[in-house]
């Protein structure tokens, strides 16, 4: 297998994994690990969007508490 074919296959698997995780968080919105796995596959900007949806879905909170949860989500994302 050539390097370009291997890279293409890796990108395809990563995209497939991302689609599966998108569906998984829809089916199991209370599973924090799924949200973190999905965010880790995203760019930084898209990971922040995932964090916002996570807060709204999982906690249903707004304001200052939502901000604190987003900060914790970002900390969890980096570890």
Rounded to 10°, the helix 63-78/32-41 angle is 70
Using 50, 70 and 90 to split pLDDT, how confident is the model at 67?
Answer: low
Could you tell me the CA-to-CA distances from 71 to 36, 38, 62, 74 in Å, in that order? Answer: 13, 17, 13, 5
Looking up tokens 């900007």, which residue turns up? Answer: 45
Percent share of the chain, pLDDT over 70: 66
Q: pLDDT tens across 24-35, in order?
A: 988 988 788 888
pTM value is 0.65
Mean pLDDT, range 38-51, rounded to an integer: 84
d(CA 60, CA 14): 30
The DSSP letter of residue 59 is: I
| pLDDT confidence of residue 7 | 57
């Amino acid at each position: 297998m050539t390097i370009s074919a291997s890279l293409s296959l890796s990108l395809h698997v990563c995209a497939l994994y991302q689609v599966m995780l998108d569906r998984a968080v829809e089916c199991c919105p209370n599973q924090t690990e799924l949200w973190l796995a999905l965010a880790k596959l995203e760019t930084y900007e898209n990971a922040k969007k995932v964090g916002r949806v996570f807060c709204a879905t999982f906690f249903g909170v707004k304001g200052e508490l939502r901000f604190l949860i987003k900060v914790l989500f970002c900390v969890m994302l980096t570890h």
